[in-house]
Amino acid sequence: MYRALIFVAVVAFATATPTLRSEDNEELRFDDNFLFGVASAAYQIEGAWNEDGKGESIWDHMLHEHPEYTEDRQNGDVAADSYHRYRDDVKIVKEMNMDFYRFSISWPRILPNGDLSLINAKGVEYYNNLIDELLANGIEPMVTMFHWDLPYALQELGGWANRHIATYFRDYADLLFKTYGNKVKWWITLNEPQSFCRGYSGDHFLAPGVEHPGVGEYLCGHTALLAHAHAYHLYEETYRAKQKGEVGITLNSFWYTPKTENDKNAAERAIQFWLGWFANPVFSKEGNYPQVMRERVAANSAKEKLRRSRLPVFTQEEINYIKGTADFFGLNHYTTNYAEEGEEGKTPSADRDAGAIITQNASWPSSGSDWLKVTPTGFRDLLNWIRNAYGDVRIIITENGFSDRNTTVDGILLDDGRVTYFEEYLREMHKAIYTDGVKVFGYTAWTLIDNFEWLHSYQERFGLYYVNFSDPSLTRSAKKSSIYLGEIALTHVVPSQGVQLIASSILLAAILLRMCIFP
- Sign, CA torsion 91/127/183/59: positive
Parallel, antiparallel, or unpaired: how do β-strands 255-258 and 336-341 relate? Answer: parallel
- Give, as one character, the DSSP assignment of residue 257: E
Spatial CA neighbour of 194 closest among 266, 280, 256, 252? 252
- Please check whether residue 333 is in contact with residue 254, taking contact to mean a CB–CB distance below 8 angstroms: yes
- Sign, CA torsion 309/315/320/324: negative
C-alpha dist (Å) from residue 314 to 75, 299, 311, 317, 459: 37, 17, 10, 8, 41
- Please check whether residue 443 is in contact with residue 400, taking contact to mean a CB–CB distance below 8 angstroms: yes
Task: Please identify which of the residues 133, 399, 424, 460 carries the catalytic annotation.
Answer: 399
**Count of Cβ atoms closer than 10 Å to residue 80 Cβ:** 27
- Give, as one character, the DSSP assignment of residue 456: G
- Please check whether residue 67 is in contact with residue 60, taking contact to mean a CB–CB distance below 8 angstroms: no
In 31-67, which positions are buried (b, 16+ CB within 10 angstroms) versus exposed (e)?
A: eeebbbbbbbbbbbbbbbbeeeebbbbbbbbbbeeee
End-to-end, the C-alpha distance of the chain in Å comes to 10
- Please check whether residue 199 is in contact with residue 161, taking contact to mean a CB–CB distance below 8 angstroms: no
- How would DSSP label each residue in 68-83? GGSTTS--SSSTT-HH
Tally DSSP H helices, then E strands, for the chain: 20, 15
Q: What are phi and psi of 232, to 5 degrees?
A: -65, -50
- How would DSSP label each residue in 344-388? -SSSS-HHHHHTEEEE--TTSPP-SSTT----THHHHHHHHHHHH
- Please check whether residue 388 is in contact with residue 279, taking contact to mean a CB–CB distance below 8 angstroms: no
Element containing residue 396 per DSSP (H, E): strand 395-399
- Give, as one character, the DSSP assignment of residue 57: B
- Please check whether residue 326 is in contact with residue 247, taking contact to mean a CB–CB distance below 8 angstroms: yes
**Count of Cβ atoms closer than 10 Å to residue 71 Cβ:** 14
Respond yes or no: is residue 340 known to be catalytic. Answer: no
| Active centre residues (catalytic) | 399
